[in-house]
Structure 1
Amino acid sequence: MKTIKGPAIFLAQFLGATAPFDTLESLGAWAAGLGYKGVQIPCDPRLIDLKTAAASKTYCDELKGKLALHGVEITELSTHLQGQLVAVHPAYDEPFDAFAAPEVRGNPAARQKWAVQQLMYAAQASQNLGLTAHATFSGALAWPYLYSWPPRPSGLIETAFDELARRWKPILDRFDDAGVDVCYEIHPGEDLHDGVTYEMFLERVDNHPRACLLYDPSHFVLQQLDYLAYIDHYHERIKIFHVKDAEFNPTGKQGVYGGFQSWINRAGRFRSLGDGQVDFKAIFSKMAQYDFPGWAVLEWECCIKHPEDGAREGATFIAEHIIRVADRAFDDFAAGNASDDGAGVAMNRRMLGLG
C-alpha cells in the first residue's frame, strides 16, 4: 500500500492582485507557511507561461526551483477553464467567453481552437515538469438537455457524446505521448458529471488509458451520489484527489436543483473542510486501500468561511486524515513459520491431513 502525499493546495481560488497571492513564488511561500507540501497550479498566465513551459525544460526547472526553496512541490497543472472551452454549447457562449484569451473572444471556433492548443501545451509542460497527472474539465454540449423535458429527440445525447469524444481524442493522444494522465473533474455543468456519463465518454474514446478521473466528493454530495461506492467502481482511474467538503440539507421548498438561489441559500452548499457532511475518514481509508498514487489537494470553496481561514484549517485537516499505511500485517506476530520451500509445503499438507 501507498501513503497518500500531502497536504497540497489548489491555488486557483487564492490567486489575487495583492501579496502574497499575486505570484507563484509568494503563493508557494504562503502555502508552505501553513504546512502545505505541494501546490496544484492553474494554467493562468499570472502563475505560469504555458507555451514557454511546453517549449523549455529550463523554464520548468526554474519554476520548480523557486517553489523548492520553500519546501513545496508542484503536484499537477490544471486547465479547468481551457478544458471547459473544448466544448461549449451556444447557450453558454457569452458567460464562458471570459475564460479565453482576449483575441479569441466572440469567436467560438477560434476560442475552441485556442483551448485545444492550450491543452496540447499543458501536456508537454506537464512532462517537462516531471508530472504524471493533469486536472481539467470535459466541457459540455449536452448539459442544457440534462432534464428530459421537453422530451429529447432520439440520438441527441449520443450525437453530443460522439462529438465530445472526437474533440478530446487527439488531446488524449498528445497526453499519452507525454506520459501524463488527463483527469476529468466530474462536475455539474460538464457532460462528464457522474459515473454513467464518464462511462459513455470512455466507451467513445476506446477506453483510452489517459482518460482518467479527478475525484472530488463534494460534487457527489450535491448530486446525492454514493461517493464511497464511486471509489470502488473507479479507483483504477482516479489519479487526482480534491479534498473539498459540502453539505446537502433539503427542505420542503428545495432540493438538488437549489431553486435558483445563491450559494448561501441552497440546500446543497460547498463548505470548508470539517464543516460539511463528507466522511473523509472513510474516503482516506479507501484511497489507502486502493493504493491511490497521488496527492491530497485542498480545493477551498465555502459560502461562509474566509478563504485564508479555510486554507489554514485545511492543511491540518488533511495532514490528520492521511493514513501512514502499515509496512506489515497486524497479525504477523502470530504467523506460523511455514514458507514456500519444500518444508513449508510439507507442513501445509500435514495441517490439512494430507500426509
Structure 2
Amino acid sequence: MNTMKGPGLMLAQFSADAAPFNSLEGIADWCANLGFKGVQIPAWDRRLFDVEKAAESQAYCDDIKGMLAERGIVITELATHLFGQLVAVHPAYDAMCDGFAPEALRGKPNERSAWAVQQVNLAARASRRLGLSAMGTFSGALLWPYFFPFPQRPEGIVDIAFEELAKRWLPILDACEESGIDLCYEIHPSEDLHDGETFEMFLEKVGGHRRCNILYDPSHLLLQQLKYLDYIDIYHERIRMFHVKDAEFNPTGRQGVYGGYRGWTDRAGRFRSLGDGQVAFRPIFSKLAQYGFEGWAVLEWECCLKNQEDGAAEGAAFIRDHIIRVTDEVFDDFAGTGADRDANRRMLGLGV
C-alpha cells in the first residue's frame, strides 16, 4: 500500500489581481508559509501559468518547477475545469459560459468548443513536461437542463447526448494517453458526469478508456445525498485525484436538495471549510489508504461563511493530520508461528 501526498492547495479560489495572489511566485511563498507542500494550478489563469508555453517549452516548465522547489513546493496537478466545461455546452448556457473563452470566440459555440479542446490537449502536453501523472477537468453538459424528467425526457435523448459527449472527449483521452496523463473528471452537479451512474454511462461510451478517471470530491456527493464512502469502494480503481472539500446538508420544511433558488448562505446544502461541515473525512482517508491511493490530498476551499485565508490555514493542518502513513508491517506478526503446506494440512487434520 502507498501513502498519499499532501497537503496541497487548489489555487483557483485564491488567485487575484493583488499581491501575493497575482503571481505563482507570490502565492507559492504564501502557501509554503501555511505548510502546504503542493499546489494545483488552474491552467486557464495566465496570472499564474502559461499553458501554451508550458506545452512547448521544457525550459519554461523546468524554471517553474525549480522556483517552486526553492520554496519546498511541487505541482500536484494541472486543473482544466473551465476548458473542459466548454467542450460540451447546452445552448441554454452559452451566454454564461462565453466568459470562459477569449472575447473573439464569444457567441461562436463551435469555435469556442474547438478552442477548449485545444487547450485541454495543451494542458496534457504541459503536464507531461512537468512530470505529472494526472489532470483534473469537467465533462461539460449537454443534458443538464433535462436532469429532472418533467416533461418526460424523449426516448433516446440520454443515449444520444452521451454518444456525442464521448465523441468529443475520445480524441482528448487519446491525447492524454500519448502524454501518459490520467484525465480525472470531477463528479459535479451541473456536469453530465455528476454521479456514479453517469460516469459509468460515459465510461462505456469511451470503451472503458484507461485514461478516463475520477476526481473524487465528497462534498458534491454529500449534497446529492450519495453514499460517498461506498463510492470509493465502487470506483477506487478509477479515483486518481482527490479534492478535500467539506459540505453540509440541512433540509427544512421549505427546501431540500434543489435549494429553492437561494444563494449559498441560505441553501439547505452548503459548502463549508474543512471541519465545519458534515463530511466524515477520517473514514475517507482510511478507505483511500486501504486502496493504496498515492495521489495528492488537495484542499479546494469553498465556504459560504469563512474567510478563505483562514480556511486555507486551517485546511493545511487538517489535511496533514488526516493523512495516514501506511504501515509496511502486519500488527500481529509477533505471534506468527510459521508454516508450510504440509504443516497447514496437518493442522486441518488432512494428513501430509
Q: Same fold (TM over 0.5)?
A: yes
Asked if residue 348 in structure 1 is aligned to residue 349 in structure 2, the reply is: no
Q: What's 1:36 paired with? A: 36
Partner Cα separation in structure 1 for residue 348 and residue 91 of structure 2: 70
How far residue 83 of structure 1 moved from its aligned partner, in angstroms, is 0.2
Give the structure 1 partner of residue 190 of structure 2: 189
For residue 257 of structure 2, give the secondary structure of its aligned residue in structure 1. coil
The aligned counterpart of 2:21 is 21
In structure 2, the residue corresponding to 1:123 is in which secondary structure? helix
Provide the secondary structure at the position in 1 that maps to 2:7.
Answer: strand
Alpha carbon RMSD of aligned pairs, Å? 0.8
Deviation at 1:345, TM superposition (A): 2.9
Cα shift readout 1:155-182 (whole Å, capped 9, x = no counterpart): 1111111100000000000000100000
- For 2:105 and 2:163, locate their aligned partners in 1 and report how far apart those are by CA, in whole Å: 25
Q: What does the per-residue CA deviation read over 1:21-73, in whole Å, with 9 as the maximum and x for residues that have no partner?
A: 11011111111110000000001111111111111111111111111110000
Counterpart for residue 167 of structure 1: 168
Deviation string 1:161-219 (CA, Å, 9 cap, x unpaired) is 11000000000000001000000000011000000000000000000000000000000
Match of residue 139 from structure 2: 138
Unaligned runs of 5+ in 1: 339-343
- After superposition, residues 19-168 of structure 1 pair within 5 angstroms as 19-43=19-43, 44-168=45-169
| Residue correspondences, number | 350
Describe the SS at the equivalent of 2:100: coil
2:322, 2:102 → 1: CA distance? Answer: 39
Code of the aligned partner of 2:344: N
Which consecutive unaligned segments of at least 5 residues does structure 2 have? Answer: none
2: distance between equivalents of 1:200 and 1:212?
13
Counterpart code for 2:229: L
SS at match of 1:218: helix
Which residue in 2 is equivalent to 1:341? none
Local SS of the residue matching 1:119: helix
| Aligned sequence identity (%) | 64
Q: C-alpha displacement at 1:337, in angstroms?
A: 2.5
Scaled by the length of structure 2, what TM-score is found? 0.98
Deviations 1:120-139 (A, max 9, x none): 10110000000000000000
Query: Residue type of the partner of 1:116?
Result: V
> What secondary structure, in the 3-state scheme, does the structure 2 residue paired with 1:283 have?
helix
Distance in 2 (alpha carbons) for counterparts of 1:255 and 1:346 = 62
Tell me whether 1:11 sits opposite 2:11 in the alignment. yes
Shift of 1:293: 1.9
Q: In 1, Cα distance between the equivalents of 2:155 and 2:109?
A: 26
For the residues of structure 2 that align with 1:241 and 1:52, how far apart are their CA atoms?
27
The offset of 1:103, in angstroms, is: 2.0
Amino acid at match of 1:228: L
Q: What secondary structure sits across from 1:12 in the alignment?
A: coil
Question: Equivalent residue for 1:332?
Answer: 333
1:13 counterpart SS class: coil
* 1:234 correspondence with 2:235: yes
Per-residue deviation, 1:232: 0.4
User: C-alpha separation between the residues in 1 aligned to 2:158 and 2:127?
Assistant: 33
Whole-Å separation in 2 of the counterparts to 1:163 and 1:347:
60
**Whole-angstrom CA distance in 1 between matches of 2:114 and 2:274:** 37
Alignment of 1:237-248 (within 5 A): 237-248=238-249
How far apart, in 1, do the equivalents of 2:30 and 2:8 lie? Answer: 12
Distance 2:236 2:49 in 1: 30
Q: How many Å apart are 1:275 and its aligned residue?
A: 0.1
Say whether residues 1:293 and 2:294 are aligned partners: yes
Partner Cα separation in structure 2 for residue 156 and residue 350 of structure 1 = 63
The amino acid of 2:250's aligned partner reads: N
* CA distance in 2: counterparts of 1:103 and 1:16, whole angstroms: 24
Per the TM alignment, residue 107 of structure 1 is displaced from its structure 2 partner at its CA by 1.0
The alpha-carbon deviation at position 326 of structure 1 amounts to: 1.2
Shift of 1:349: 2.7
Alpha-carbon separation, structure 2, partners of 1:173 and 1:293: 24
> Counterparts of 2:104 and 2:66 in 1: how far apart (Å)?
32
Counterpart CA distance in 2 for 1:283 and 1:237 is 15
More displaced stretch, 329-338 vs 89-98: 329-338
Aligned to 2:72, the other structure's residue is in SS state: coil
In structure 2, C-alpha distance between the alignment counterparts of 1:346 and 1:78, rounded to whole Å? 55
